[in-house]
Amino acid sequence: MTVPNVLLSGIVGSTAYGLAHAGSDVDRLGVFAAPTEALHGLHRPKESHVSTAPDRTLHEAAKWCRLALGGNPTAMELVWLPPELYEARTPLGDELIGIRTSFLCAARVRDAYLGYATQQFRRLEARGDGSFSADTRRRIAKHARHLKRLCHQGLELYATGRLTIRVENPQEFHDFGERVAADPAVALPLLRFCENAFAETRGALPERPDEAPVEAWLRRVRAHFYAPGGARAS
């Protein structure tokens, strides 16, 4: 998949978290800019490009901003990666990293991370009573690791305004996944703890995101890629 005007992209997912194992997929996420001229035509350009082998998702700049403003955990991690995990960085991509806190607000971060964590728990519940195949157990363990990570990272972001992508103790997450694979009900106390912690924590985030820097950045992107009849090189 060749997509022009990539502003920022990097390795995300289990590799970034430090939870990958032999055979794990390497997930990539990025932001690209559609040619500004193309945004004014009858048919708008695609807002996302998704490929497999390798697994790569690229969101158009405006769509990525909307996702991040909504607190989407997957989108948000792109601008908090360790430097060595970026595979493409442009000046506009660096500017996006520089305004990453502008996307944050307490309610959206809480609702998004809790919502995603709850989705993971529902998937665990749907797996049954433990009498399932080895492949299903592996999927359950994966969902459980994601549940624990979402709780951990969401609370950190909510309380401090910072997001640490790589987990401090990967083995703790793998052990939790194995316990939940044996008994999915083991995950419920963690989810309840996370819900209570969000309710009781005095967060560091504002009530609303600061959209002005985001709007200004997006307008710089549009100006940079305005070239009637063709895209401008990044």
Q: Tokens 């794990």 identify what position?
A: 24
| Distances from the Cα of 100 to the Cα of 4, 61, 64, 94, 172, angstroms | 23, 14, 12, 10, 29
DSSP 49-95: EEETTTEEEEEEHHHHHHHHHTT-HHHHGGGG--GGGEEEE-HHHHH
Per-residue pLDDT of 91-148, as tens digits, reads 999 999 999 999 999 999 999 999 999 998 988 877 655 556 778 888 889 999 999 9
- Given the candidates 3.30.230, 3.30.460, 3.90.380, 3.90.550, the CATH classification of the domain at 6-103+210-224 is 3.30.460
Residues 65/214, Cβ–Cβ less than 8 Å: yes
Give the start-to-end residue ranges of the domains of the chain.
Answer: 6-103+210-224, 106-200
pTM for the full model?
0.91
Check whether the bond before 54 is cis (ω within 30° of 0). yes
Per-residue pLDDT of 144-195, as tens digits, reads 999 999 999 999 999 999 999 999 999 999 999 999 998 888 999 999 999 9
